[in-house]
Amino acid sequence: MIMNTQLLSQFISPYTGRMYGRHVTGLCLHMQRRVAREVRIAKLIGYLPFMNKPVKYLEDPMLFNPFSRKTLTLFLIPCHT
């Protein structure tokens, strides 16, 4: 799995180079640790780059706002059958 950089890059933020947490990836604890180990090894070998960015870029942009009314209204609209 170390050589499959496309698969491993799905678990890494393109903005910061840091791994996404379990709440984002949806992996169980065992698989998250396994992917983290594989990413770490791939970075050490040189298959994946280390990204060193300025501190102001270390925060990922918000993918969506969970508190927006658009998100809430999708679940509040009753289904008419």
What does the pLDDT read at residue 79?
Answer: 54
Whether the CB-CB separation of 25 and 32 falls below 8 Å is answered with yes
Whether the CB-CB separation of 17 and 56 falls below 8 Å is answered with no
Would you say how long the chain is, in residues? 81
Q: Quick check: 30 pLDDT over 70?
A: yes
CATH number at residue 48: 4.10.640
What are the φ and ψ backbone dihedral angles of 12, each rounded to 5 degrees?
A: -120, 135
Residue 17 lies in domain? 5-76
Does 36 fall in a domain? yes
Q: Give tens-digit pLDDT for 37-73.
A: 999 999 999 888 887 666 666 666 666 666 766 544 4
Does 81 fall in a domain? no
Q: Quick check: 33 pLDDT over 90?
A: yes
Rounded Cα distance between 9 and 30, Å, is 19
Q: What is the pTM of this model?
A: 0.61
